[in-house]
A and B are shown apart, each in its own frame.
Chain A
Amino acid sequence: MNRRNFLKTGLLAGASLTVPGIYGNYFAKSSRIIPANYDMVAVRNGEPEVMFDKGIEQLGGMKAFVKKNQKVLVKPNIGWDVIPERGGNTHPKLVKRIVEHCYEAGAKEVYVFDHTCDDWRRSYANSGIEKAVKDAGGKIVSGDSESYYQNVTIDGAKVLKKDKVHELVLESDVFINVPILKSHSSARITVTLKNMMGVVWDRGYWHRNNLHQCIADYSLFRKKPTLNVVDAYYVMKQNGPRGVSLDDVALMKSMIISTDMVAADAASAKLFGVEPASVSYIKLADSMGAGKMDLSSMNIKRLIL
Chain B
Amino acid sequence: MNGTLLRKIRISVSSFFLIATTLLLVDIYGFFPPEVSNKILFLQFIPSTLKFISVVSLGAAGFIIVIILSLLFGRVYCSTICPLGIFQDIINWLSGKFRRGKKRRFDFSKEQKILRIVLLILPVLFFLLGSSLLLNLLDPYSIYGRFSGNFFRPVAAGVNNIAAYLFEIFRIYAVYPYSIKAFNPFPFLFTLSFFSFVVIMAWTKGRLYCNTVCPVGTLLGYLSKFSLFKIIINHEECLSCGICAKECKSSCIDSKNKTVDMSRCVVCFDCIPSCPTEGITFGNSYKKNAYGKNEQQNIKLDHSKRDFLTKTSVYLFSLSAIAAQVQKKIIVTKPSTVPVFRKNAVSPPGSEGLEKFNSRCTACNLCVSACPTQVLQPSFLEYGFLGMLQPRLDNITGFCNFECKICGDVCPTGAILPMDLEKKKLTQLGKAKFVKDNCIVKTQKTDCGACSEHCPTKAVHMIPFEGTLVIPEVRDDYCIGCGACEFACPTNPYKAIYVEGNRWHQIAKKNVELKKQESVNTKEDFPF
Contact = CB atoms under 8 A, between A and B. Distances in A.
B454 A242 contact: yes
Interface in B476-528: 488, 490-492, 511, 514-520, 522-523, 525-528
B523 A247 contact: no
Given A147-B168, A207-B440, A242-B455, A252 B448 contact: no
Contacts of A203: 450, 490
B177 A185 contact: no
B453 interface: yes
Contact of B453 (A141, A171, A242, A280): A242
Given A186-B448, A186-B462, A142 B177 contact: yes
A121 B517 contact: no
B131 to A, nearest CB: 33
Residues of A in contact with B, size category: 35 or more
B240 interface: no
B173 A111 contact: yes
Contacts of B511: 244
Interface stretch (A16-24, A29-37, A208-216, A218-226): A208-216
Interface in B429-474: 440, 444, 446-450, 452-458, 461-462, 468, 470
A300 B401 contact: no
Contacts of B179: 144-146
Nearest to B371: A119
Interface in A245-283: 245, 247-254, 266-267, 270-271, 273, 280
Contacts of A211: 446-449
Number of contact residues on B: which range applies?
35 or more
Given A126-B403, A185-B449, A247 B176 contact: no
B462 A185 contact: yes
Nearest to A249: B517
B453 A117 contact: yes
B282 interface: no
Interface in B175-197: 176-179
Interface string A91-125: 00000000000000000000100000111011000
Contact of B401 (A122, A245, A266): A122
B87 to A, nearest CB: 30
Nearest to B402: A81
A81 B519 CA distance: 23
Interface in A284-304: 295, 300, 302, 304
A25 interface: no
Contacts of B519: 250-252
A208 B491 contact: yes
B373 interface: yes
Contact of B176 (A45, A142, A205): A142
Interface string A192-217: 00000000000111011111110000
B165 interface: yes
Nearest to A232: B520
A165 B526 CA distance: 35
Contact of A185 (B453, B491, B522): B453
Nearest to B173: A141
A145 B176 contact: yes
B514 A119 contact: no
Nearest to A236: B517
B403 A81 contact: yes
Contacts of A205: 490
B412 to A, nearest CB: 23
A237 B517 contact: yes
Chain A CB within 10 Å — which of B178, B492, B523, B528 has the most? Answer: B528
Given A44-B526, A118-B401, A252 B520 contact: yes
Nearest to B491: A208
A54 interface: no
A121 B528 CA distance: 38
B458 A244 contact: yes
Contacts of A241: 453
Nearest to A109: B171
B447 A238 contact: no
Contacts of A235: 520
Contact of A186 (B174, B176, B403, B470): B470
A231 to B, nearest CB: 14
B154 interface: no
B404 interface: yes
Nearest to B518: A250
Given A185-B462, A239-B458, A302 B525 contact: yes
Contacts of B447: 186-187, 210-212, 280
B497 to A, nearest CB: 13
A42 interface: yes
Contact of B528 (A111, A187, A212, A267): A267
A122 B404 contact: yes
A271 B526 contact: yes
Contacts of B177: 142, 144-145, 147-148
B130 interface: no
A139 interface: yes
A212 B453 CA distance: 15
A210 B458 contact: no
Interface in B384-443: 401-404, 440
14 contacts: A111-B173, A117-B454, A118-B403, A119-B373, A121-B372, A145-B177, A185-B462, A207-B490, A210-B447, A211-B446, A247-B514, A251-B519, A254-B526, A273-B527
Which A-B residue pairs are the 9 nearest by beta carbons? A186-B449, A204-B490, A142-B176, A145-B177, A45-B522, A251-B519, A250-B517, A141-B173, A207-B490
